[in-house]
């Protein structure tokens, strides 16, 4: 082989550098010798090595020997050249793959036009079944993987949503309470305004004004005023009137009612029993029989 | 150089043959001579459409082998390539020795192939691919990077086994003579011959060969149309045409182009090529200095401390009394 003799001096250089010592194949060691001087571990040399062979005439000759005759029809070759504008950045996976994809797609489209021009079939018809490059079991796996991927994405999406909702929920709750408070305040305000207007327009005082009291008017309604009255039990809805009228008796058409009234007048009815037994502020503040028993007495009892 | 002489005579012979063929075509094409050596099944068809007649017939046959001790990933890549090329013959592994060139040449002749793809694995991690046209050359040696096999699940496409692929080349292949040569070589080896007995009559996948960063990147896509079932596709379908990647993927870094098959004069040498051995050696060298550096730094520090002793601290004995 003439090549080896020609490249002998370079080979020596390689062995000096020591990188190619263990290699048995002369060709590899030759190629390694090109890259001696570089100290960096870049895959590509920064500058082309000067000793590299580039025999343009030889290449052209070989190409002429190799290539098919010019009049060979395209259908034999099926090759399409696609013009690409700019060099792609190899390290950017996405743009690189996109460049390959667009090249292939353009090629496929051009080929399709050519096939259509020649009236030849192009894609496989759907009822043409034959052995495929990948087996059915493999495609099953691919499908399963795709489905799993989809499911995984959906699940993660759901989780993300739930997390965000939780974050928002607190704010939403606060907003709601604020709104409610505001609503209440507005209502009260409007009622006050309405009352003021009424007073100004001449319906001042009067029983009718008192009748139109609203329950939500700051708790100043009937209940509070009831409590203020002396001698009335808290559950007494008659407001002490029952006791007031107890002696007088009441007119009633019903016989039962008459009897009740009679009994009431005789024994007295001052409201419901259960409410009578509850403590009021008067009874709780009554310490009259608190210190009756001595502490020593109690001890002895125990 | 006997080989060269032989080659020269062969070249002349070939040229004469080509000339004869051409003359034959020019003189006889209108007369439509009966074709005897072609497949008999195709005969009525060629008779009915005389315009498709040409004397050319692609009889490419590729021998695909690999070296011993190839790793499983690279072996799978080779098997993928075998499944993509219906016109190939797979053979047993070959010992990757210095004499492998002559062995391979013999083997190719024995199998009556016209070209060869040889996957050579070194050290269980570096894959080299030899592409050779066999009796007369040329041959190319590539370093193969970025290998993805068809088995990977993210490559979801599929296509007919043995359908003829469309070959797309980026225009950068026409720039330099060595790229032109590589293009011709790839086209002949990867293109399935028309009417090959194992090929299918449809075209549902496309190979893309692109030069980026002085490497040849290979991709294989399935062509899919929304209603590919219909035989007549129109322009609208053309717009909707999409590709799905089938695999495999690899990236070829040309190292050398030789004039003969597996040898001969070097026609081209990649000036930017650094072998993976070299890269690893450099990395190792970088790492290796670590301990020595540490020791050196320590001694230097000691020397420095001895040379410049600290001043006595005036408050040093303050709390001892």
Chain A residues with CB-CB distance to B15 below 8 A = none
pLDDT exceeds 60 at position B310: yes
Host domain of residue A23: 1-67
In a domain, A265, yes or no: no
Instruction: Name residue B170's beta-bridge partners.
Output: A82
User: Do residues B261 and B105 touch, judged by C-beta distance below 8 A?
Assistant: yes
Asked if the structure places residue A50 within a domain, the reply is yes
Largest CA distance in chain A: 145
Q: Measured between alpha carbons, how far is A140 from B112 in angstroms, rounded to an integer? A: 38
pLDDT at residue number B313: 81
Which of these three, A42, A67, A92, is where a domain ends? A67
B275 neighbors A31 (Cβ within 8 angstroms):
yes
Is A101 in Cβ contact with B221 (below 8 Å)? yes
Higher pLDDT, B223 or A272: B223
pLDDT over 60 (residue A36): no
pLDDT at B42 over 70: no
Tell me which chain B residues have a C-beta less than 8 angstroms from the C-beta of A70: none
Query: SS3 for B37?
Result: coil
CB–CB contacts below 8 A, A to B: 290
Question: What 3-state class would DSSP assign to A123?
Answer: coil
Taking only residues 59 to 118 of chain B, the set having a beta carbon closer than 8 angstroms to any beta carbon of chain A reads: 83-84, 96-98
Name chain A contacts of B42, Cβ cutoff 8 Å.
none
User: What per-residue confidence (pLDDT) applies to A26?
Assistant: 40
Q: For residue A283, what pLDDT band results from cuts at 50, 70 and 90? A: confident
* Contact state of B268 with A128 under an 8 Å Cβ cutoff: no
pLDDT computed for residue A37 by the predictor: 35
Q: Determine the Cα–Cα distance for residues A49 and A33; give it in Å rounded to an integer.
A: 10
Please report, for residues A132, A194, A195, A208, the alpha-carbon distance to residue A199 in angstroms, rounded to integers and kept in the order given.
95, 9, 6, 12
Distance CA(A119)–CA(A222), nearest Å, equals 99
Instruction: Specify the higher pLDDT residue, A49 or B7.
Output: A49
Q: For residue A205, is it left (φ>0), alpha (ψ between -120 and 50) or beta?
A: left
Rounded to a whole number of angstroms, the distance from the CA of A182 to the nearest CA of chain B is 58
**What number is the average pLDDT over the span A149-173?**
94
Separation CA A272–CA A257 (nearest Å)? 17
Burial of B94 (0-12, 13-18, 19+ CB in 10 A): middle
Nearest CA distance, B315 vs chain A (angstrom): 53
> Hey, are the CB atoms on B274 and A43 less than 8 Å from each other?
yes
Q: Exposed, middle or buried: residue A296 (CB in 10 Å: 0-12, 13-18, 19+)?
A: exposed
* Poorest-pLDDT segment among A104-118, A278-292, B2-16: B2-16
pLDDT tens digits for B188-222?
999 999 999 999 999 999 999 999 989 999 999 99
B274 vs A: CB within 8 A: yes
Q: Which residues lie closer than 8 Å to A60 by C-beta, 6 or more apart?
A: B177
pLDDT at A95 over 60: yes
Range of weakest confidence among A105-114, A246-255, A287-296, B43-52: B43-52
With a cut of 90, say whether residue B75 has pLDDT above it: yes
pLDDT of A19? 37
Residue from A34, A44, A38, A39 nearest A14 by CA:
A34
* Cβ pair A1:B133 closer than 8 A: no
Interface probe, candidates A16, A75, A100, chain B, greatest B C-beta count within 10 A: A100
How does the average pLDDT of chain A come out, rounded? 74
| Nearest of B236, B284, B261, B274 to residue B107 by alpha carbon | B261
Taking contacts as CB-CB distances below 8 angstroms, the residues of chain A near B58 are 68, 76
From chain A, the residues in CB contact with B180 under 8 A are 59, 63
Note the pLDDT of residue B236: 67
Residue recorded with tokens 């495929």 = A132
Query: What residues of chain B lie within 8 A of the CB of A145, using their CB?
Result: 153-154
Q: What is the pLDDT of residue A226?
A: 44
B29 interfaces chain A, CB cutoff of 8 Å: no
pLDDT tier at A40, thresholds 50, 70, 90: very low
Q: How many CB atoms lie within 10 A of CB A147?
A: 10
Pairwise CA distance, residues A156 & A171, whole Å: 24
Helices (H), chain A: 2-6, 8-17, 26-33, 56-66, 74-77, 93-118, 136-198, 206-211, 222-228, 241-244, 255-267, 273-276, 281-284, 295-301
- Evaluate the CA torsion angle A246, A252, A256, A259 in order and state its sign: positive
pLDDT in tens, B149-175: 999 999 999 999 999 999 999 999 998
Q: Is B261 left (phi over 0), alpha (psi -120 to 50) or beta?
A: beta
pLDDT digits (tens, 9 = 90+) for A165-214: 988 998 999 999 999 999 999 999 999 999 999 988 876 554 444 445 55
Task: Tell if the CB–CB gap between A75 and B257 is shorter than 8 Å.
Answer: no
DSSP 8-class letter at B311: P
Report yes or no: B16 at the A interface, CB cutoff 8 Å.
no
- Two structure tokens written together for A91: 């390290």
pLDDT of A252 = 46
Question: What is the reported pLDDT for B267?
Answer: 93
Q: How many domains is chain A partitioned into structurally?
A: 3
pLDDT for B25: 57
Mean pLDDT value across chain B:
84
Q: Distance of CA B192 to CAs B7, B114, B241, Å?
A: 27, 13, 23
User: The complex's ipTM?
Assistant: 0.76
- As a whole number of angstroms, the distance between CA B55 and CA B53 comes to 7
In B, minimum Cα distance to A75 occurs at B194
A101 and A78, same structural domain?
yes
Write out chain B residues lying below 8 Å of A78, CB-based: 164-167, 191, 203
Distance CA B253, CA A45 (A): 13
Compare CB distances from B158 to A18, A69, A133 and report the shortest one's residue: A133
**CATH match of B57-279 with 3.10.270.10:** no
Report, as an integer, the average pLDDT of A210-221. Answer: 49
Predicted pLDDT of residue B178: 93
Query: Chain B residue closest to A79 (CA)?
Result: B167
């Amino acid at each position: 082989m003439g090549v080896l003799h020609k490249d002998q001096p370079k080979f020596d250089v390689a062995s000096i550098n020591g990188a190619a010592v263990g290699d048995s194949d002369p060709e590899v060691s030759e190629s390694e010798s090109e890259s001696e001087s570089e100290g960096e571990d870049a895959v590509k040399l920064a500058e082309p090595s000067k000793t590299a062979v580039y025999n343009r005439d030889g290449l052209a000759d070989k190409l002429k020997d190799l290539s098919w005759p010019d009049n060979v029809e395209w259908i034999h070759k099926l090759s399409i050249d696609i013009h690409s504008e700019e060099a792609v950045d190899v390290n950017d996976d996405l743009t690189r793959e996109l460049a390959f994809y667009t090249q292939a797609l353009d090629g496929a489209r051009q080929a399709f036009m050519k096939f259509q021009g020649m009236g030849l079939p192009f894609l496989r018809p759907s009822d043409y079944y034959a052995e495929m490059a990948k087996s059915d079991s493999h495609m099953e796996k691919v499908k399963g993987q795709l489905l799993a991927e989809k499911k995984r994405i959906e699940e993660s999406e759901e989780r993300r949503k739930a997390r965000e909702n939780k974050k928002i929920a607190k704010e939403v709750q606060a907003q709601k309470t604020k709104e409610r408070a505001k609503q209440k305040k507005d209502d009260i305000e409007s009622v006050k305004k309405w009352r003021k207007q009424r007073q100004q327009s001449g319906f001042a005082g009067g029983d009718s004004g008192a009748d139109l009291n609203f329950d939500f008017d700051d708790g100043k309604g009937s209940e509070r005023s009831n409590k203020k009255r002396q001698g009335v039990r808290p559950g007494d809805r008659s407001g002490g009137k029952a006791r007031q009228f107890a002696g007088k008796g009441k007119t009633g058409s019903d016989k039962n009612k008459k009897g009740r009234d009679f009994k009431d007048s005789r024994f007295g009815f001052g409201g419901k029993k259960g409410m009578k037994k509850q403590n009021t502020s008067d009874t709780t503040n009554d310490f009259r029989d608190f210190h009756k028993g001595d502490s020593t007495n109690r001890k002895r009892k125990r | 150089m006997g080989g060269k002489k032989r080659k020269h005579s062969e070249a002349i012979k070939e040229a004469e043959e080509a000339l004869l063929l051409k003359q034959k075509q020019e003189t006889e094409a209108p007369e439509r001579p009966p074709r005897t050596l072609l497949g008999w099944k195709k005969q009525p068809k060629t008779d009915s459409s005389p315009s498709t007649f040409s004397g050319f017939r692609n009889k490419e046959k590729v021998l695909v082998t690999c070296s011993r001790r190839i790793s499983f990933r690279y072996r799978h890549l080779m098997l993928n390539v075998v499944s993509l090329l219906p016109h190939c013959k797979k053979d047993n592994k070959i010992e990757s020795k210095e004499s492998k060139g002559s062995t391979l040449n013999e083997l190719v002749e024995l199998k009556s192939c016209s070209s060869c793809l040889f996957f050579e694995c070194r050290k269980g991690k570096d894959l080299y691919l030899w592409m050779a046209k066999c009796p007369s050359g040329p041959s190319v040696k590539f370093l193969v990077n970025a290998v993805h096999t068809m088995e990977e699940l993210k490559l979801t496409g599929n296509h007919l086994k043995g359908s003829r692929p469309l070959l797309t080349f980026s225009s950068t292949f026409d720039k330099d003579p060595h790229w032109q040569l590589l293009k011709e070589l790839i086209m002949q080896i990867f293109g399935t011959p028309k009417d090959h007995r194992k090929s299918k009559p449809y075209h549902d996948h496309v190979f893309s060969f692109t030069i980026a960063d002085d490497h040849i990147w290979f991709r294989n896509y399935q062509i899919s149309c929304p209603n590919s079932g219909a035989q007549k596709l129109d322009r609208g379908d053309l717009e909707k045409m999409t590709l799905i990647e089938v695999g495999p993927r690899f990236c070829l870094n040309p190292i050398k182009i030789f004039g003969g098959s597996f040898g001969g004069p070097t026609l081209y040498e990649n000036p930017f090529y650094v072998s993976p051995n070299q890269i690893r050696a450099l990395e190792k060298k970088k790492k290796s200095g670590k301990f020595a550096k540490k020791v050196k730094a320590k001694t230097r520090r000691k020397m420095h401390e001895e040379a410049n002793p600290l001043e006595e601290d005036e408050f040093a004995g303050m709390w001892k009394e």
